[in-house]
């Protein structure tokens, strides 16, 4: 396939779509699948056929439509209308009344002017609700693979990396390392072989951003990886996805086959000299394999344990060769940057944190789901305007960002801009994008205990500070929750947290104490209220509280 063939295919697909008067898209992501979208799809199809609308109406599955808590969701594209809580009965009404009579099903309609939608800026999620999640032709018709074509025909590798650097794109998987800088290091590396790896091992509790992108727009990720391969001089890519994502893996496999068939992956892509293959590696679900060195060991068939850095993967990664490793969301930003230019991307968000960020809203919040917002947006706007606040009768208490590696942000910091630097000032991190909301019914010590239980269980056990330290921290938290701990235990807890944070080998152990430290910082009184007074004895054997002893010393 040539570049001209690619553009001709896009025009052909656009013309095919224009033949239909109506396009009905049902959400086919895992969230809506679990709430019954297959039955909705069957009823929509049946109603279209029975009413003789097959020549006027096209039915297809699309990616996540955002409001995951209100599914199954159906979107009528021709007359932009989104329906929630769609069952078989409502599905038939959508076809009979909306499509057949031009009369909307008001009881299930969602106002698209609602702040949930109006406050978002979609770059990564731009194709959700617009294209068939399993059609490469529809992706191409929506400017898909145009950025790859531009890179191969109009830009050299240095120019591609230059655009990414000027855009200011930072890795969306954790610490926010500059993507262009990482690519440049790999490009300059001298080696007979280089690799591009996609970290799709999304394991944070409450996080489903990467999974949703892979399910709804897999070609976006493949295109981003291919551009990365061209930029750094790699001809082999790997996507490392956890086995708990069967739908994402299935659609990735389909997308790879489609791209290979059209010559958009494989040898001499778009009749250039560039060769690039992508293979999938399935992980067993170890959280530690989200750490890049552990992930790379797992890709090579070894036990997923982290190793000391440096050297970094950009210098010595897979099989000792220079390796680019970014997460799903990072690669999904690449094609839009090349299509629209670095200045366009850099103009969104903040100066130090350009672009958008995808968050998975979960917990004690009215609207759970997937949202994409500009970097620097106030936390308050995400929680109250987009998320609709906490359930009636409760008050917002804290937001956990960054998963088990992040911290809890209290209500006094609701005006905090959500960007890399600002989150660090309150002891949290961006992480991959999980955001769990807690209200005044949440016990913050119990929250800390929950995340420490997770980290303790997921520790690979290689280094003693993490293996033993997380266990002791959990034990102390359990004592506090059960009101059996003393002030001495509380002091030991804080000391242990700092020890684990400063001496653990990898990011799992180094960040594991964050939820504990942040809850101690902002909710110290909840810990104090659960402590029992430490007791001691004077020379006569009488039992004294610490306060009495202090007075006697004076």
Q: What is the pLDDT of residues 1-27, one digit of tens each?
A: 999 999 999 999 999 999 999 999 999
- What's the confidence (pLDDT) of residue 173? 84
Average the pLDDT over 492-520 and give the result: 95
Write the CA distances from 418 to 64, 367, 376, 379, integer angstroms: 23, 19, 5, 6
Nearest partner of 259 among 240, 243, 280, judged by Cα: 280
Supply the mean pLDDT for the chain.
94
CA gap 135, 225 in Å, rounded: 19
Matching residue, tokens 């001691």: 536
With a cut of 50, say whether residue 549 has pLDDT above it.
no
Beta strands in 432-515 (DSSP E): 434-439
Is the Cα dihedral 222, 224, 226, 229 positive or negative? negative
Residue 203: its pLDDT value, please?
A: 85
CB neighbours of residue 72 within 10 Å: 26
Contact 228, 324 (CB under 8 A): yes
Q: Among all chains, which residue has been given the structure tokens 């989104």? A: 82
The confidence score (pLDDT) of residue 207 equals 87
Average pLDDT (495-507) is 96
pLDDT per residue as tens digits for the range 282-318 = 999 899 999 999 999 999 999 999 999 999 999 999 9
Q: What are phi and psi of 208, to 5 degrees?
A: -150, 30
Q: For residues 80 and 75, what is the distance between their CA atoms, to the nearest angstrom? A: 7
pLDDT (mean) for 367-391: 96
Asked if the model's pLDDT at residue 547 lies above 80, the reply is no
Note the pLDDT of residue 205: 84
**Percentage, residues of the chain above pLDDT 70:** 96
Q: Which of 2, 12, 222 lies closest to 138, judged by CA?
A: 12
Q: Pick from 340, 372, 418: which is nearest to 166 by CA?
A: 340
Q: Has residue 550 got a pLDDT over 70?
A: no
| 213-263 per-position pLDDT tens digit | 999 999 999 999 999 999 999 999 999 999 999 999 999 999 999 999 999
Enumerate domains of the chain plus CATH numbers. Answer: 3-118 (3.40.30.10), 143-346 (3.40.50.11540), 356-442 (3.10.20.600), 453-528 (1.20.1440.230)
On the question of pLDDT at 370 being above 60, the answer is yes
């Amino acid at each position: 396939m040539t570049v001209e063939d690619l553009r001709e295919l896009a025009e052909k697909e656009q013309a095919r779509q224009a033949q239909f008067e109506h396009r009905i898209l049902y959400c086919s992501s895992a969230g809506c699948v679990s709430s019954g979208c297959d039955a909705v799809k069957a009823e929509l199809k049946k109603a279209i056929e029975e009413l003789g609308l097959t020549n006027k109406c096209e039915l297809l599955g699309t990616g996540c439509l955002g409001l995951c808590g209100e599914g199954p969701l159906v979107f009528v594209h021709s007359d932009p209308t989104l329906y929630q809580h769609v069952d078989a009965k409502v599905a038939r009404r959508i076809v009979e009344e909306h499509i057949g009579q031009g009369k909307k099903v008001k009881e299930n309609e969602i106002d698209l002017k609602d702040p949930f939608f109006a406050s978002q800026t979609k770059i990564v999620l731009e194709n959700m609700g617009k294209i068939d999640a399993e059609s490469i032709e529809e992706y191409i018709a929506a400017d898909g693979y145009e950025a790859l074509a531009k890179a191969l025909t109009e830009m050299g590798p240095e120019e591609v990396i230059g655009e990414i650097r000027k855009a200011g794109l930072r890795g969306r998987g954790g610490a926010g390392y500059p993507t262009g800088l990482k690519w440049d290091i790999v490009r300059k590396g001298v080696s007979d072989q280089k690799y591009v790896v996609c970290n799709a091992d999304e394991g944070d509790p409450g996080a489903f951003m990467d999974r949703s992108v892979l399910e709804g727009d897999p070609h976006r990720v493949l295109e981003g990886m291919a551009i990365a391969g061209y930029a750094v001089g790699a001809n082999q890519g790997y996507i490392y996805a956890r086995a708990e994502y069967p739908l994402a893996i299935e659609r990735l496999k389909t997308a790879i086959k489609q791209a290979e068939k059209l010559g958009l992956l494989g040898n001499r892509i778009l009749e250039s000299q560039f060769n690039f293959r992508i293979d999938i590696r399935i992980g067993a679900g170890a959280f530690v394999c989200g750490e890049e060195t552990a992930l790379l060991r797992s890709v090579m068939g070894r036990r997923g344990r982290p190793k000391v850095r440096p050297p970094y993967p950009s210098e010595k990664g897979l099989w000792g060769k220079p390796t680019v490793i970014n997460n799903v969301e990072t690669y999904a930003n690449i094609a839009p940057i090349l299509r629209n230019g670095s200045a366009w991307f850099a103009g969104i968000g903040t100066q130090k944190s350009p672009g958008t960020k995808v968050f998975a809203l979960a917990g004690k919040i009215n609207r759970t789901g997937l949202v994409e917002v500009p970097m620097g947006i106030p936390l308050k706007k995400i929680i109250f305007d987009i998320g609709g606040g906490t359930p009636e009768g409760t008050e917002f208490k804290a937001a956990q960002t960054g998963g088990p590696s992040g911290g809890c942000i209290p209500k006094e910091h609701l005006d905090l801009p959500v960007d890399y630097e600002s989150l660090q000032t309150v002891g949290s991190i961006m992480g991959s994008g999980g955001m769990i909301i807690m209200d005044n019914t949440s016990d913050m010590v119990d929250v800390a205990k929950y995340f420490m239980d997770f980290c303790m269980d997921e520790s690979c056990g290689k280094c003693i500070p993490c293996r033993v330290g997380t266990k002791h921290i959990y034990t102390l938290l359990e004592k506090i929750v059960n009101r059996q701990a003393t002030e001495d235990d509380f002091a030991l807890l804080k000391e242990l947290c700092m020890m684990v944070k400063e001496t653990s080998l990898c990011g799992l152990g180094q960040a594991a104490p964050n939820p504990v430290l942040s809850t101690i910082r902002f909710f110290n009184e909840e810990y104090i209220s659960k402590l029992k007074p430490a007791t001691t004895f004077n020379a006569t054997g009488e039992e004294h509280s610490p306060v009495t002893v202090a007075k006697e010393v004076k």
